[in-house]
């Protein structure tokens, strides 16, 4: 049987535009992943995609906006990893631990997306009202909610102690995760002198998180 799908001209145009937008992002990504933000220009992006600059501006407002659209891709990937990981945890405290593991997986499997996400969160872009920046903020909010829900579940099932405030633990875990993967060279040297590799430190940090919130009182 042959199925004939009739698409309106408008729909065809929309799809074409979408594909071209993705293509632009794929090419721009290569540039942003290989050099510093300030060393990438709209001219270079236009050259890389083989379009003139005017056409580029039909798709994106400016360089910042292209960059944010790439960061957004990264956050979407991270959200998927986080959701899947958290679902494998049985108890609330397991889910919180899996949330931590999700971050380390993201950092390890998608280092470039991880880097641009961290740079996006630096002070440099803090006042941006770009549409993609707003979408990133909204997605980041979703991530925090997923973590908060795990903690609340842990308080309910008795694996996490009642006194902790879920949002504080979520923030604490989020900010420490960032620093743990981004240890400076001096700190790495200090650990290595004691025979501790970065991976080991990450693993042991999860044990510290666990003890930080776990309920020791037997119900």
Stretch that binds its own copies, among 29-37, 74-82, 97-105, 137-145 (CB under 8 A): 137-145
**Three-state DSSP string of 111-167:** HHHHHHHHHHCCHHHCCCCCHHHHHHHHHHHHHHHHHHHHHHHHHHHCCECCCCCHH
172 forms part of the interface with its own copies (CB under 8 A): yes
CB nearer to its own copies: give 25 or 213: 213
Contacting residue, 13, 53, 179, 197, with its own copies by CB under 8 A: 179
- Nearest approach in angstroms of CB 178 to its own copies is 7
Burial class of residue 42 in the structure, from the number of CB atoms within 10 Å of its CB (0-12 exposed, 13-18 middle, 19+ buried)? middle
CB nearer to its own copies: give 9 or 217: 217
Residues 91-130: x where in contact with its own copies by CB under 8 A, - otherwise, as a string: ------------------------------x-x--x----
Contacting residue, 91, 128, 149, 176, with its own copies by CB under 8 A: 176
Which ranges constitute the DSSP H helices of the chain? Answer: 9-34, 42-49, 53-59, 63-88, 92-109, 111-120, 131-157, 166-181, 185-193, 198-213
197 forms part of the interface with its own copies (CB under 8 A): no
């Amino acid at each position: 049987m042959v199925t004939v799908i009739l698409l309106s001209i408008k729909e065809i145009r929309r799809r074409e535009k979408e594909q071209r937008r993705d293509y632009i992002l794929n090419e721009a990504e290569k540039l942003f992943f290989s050099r510093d933000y300030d060393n990438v220009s709209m001219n270079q992006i236009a050259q890389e995609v083989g379009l003139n600059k005017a056409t580029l501006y039909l798709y994106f407002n400016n360089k910042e906006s292209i960059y944010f659209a790439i960061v957004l891709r990264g956050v979407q990937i991270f959200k998927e990893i986080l959701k899947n990981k958290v679902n494998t945890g049985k108890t609330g405290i397991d889910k919180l631990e899996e949330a931590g593991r999700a971050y380390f997986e993201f950092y390890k499997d998608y280092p470039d997306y991880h880097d641009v996400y961290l740079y996006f969160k630096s002070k440099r872009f803090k006042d941006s009202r770009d549409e993609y920046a707003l979408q990133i903020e909204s997605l980041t909010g979703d991530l925090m909610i997923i973590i908060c829900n795990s903690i609340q579940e842990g308080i309910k099932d008795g694996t996490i102690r009642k006194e902790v405030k879920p949002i504080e633990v979520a923030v604490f875990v989020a900010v420490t995760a960032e620093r743990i993967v981004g240890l400076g060279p001096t700190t790495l040297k200090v650990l290595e002198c004691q025979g501790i590799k970065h991976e080991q430190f990450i693993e042991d940090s999860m044990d510290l998180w666990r003890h930080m919130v776990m309920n020791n009182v037997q119900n």
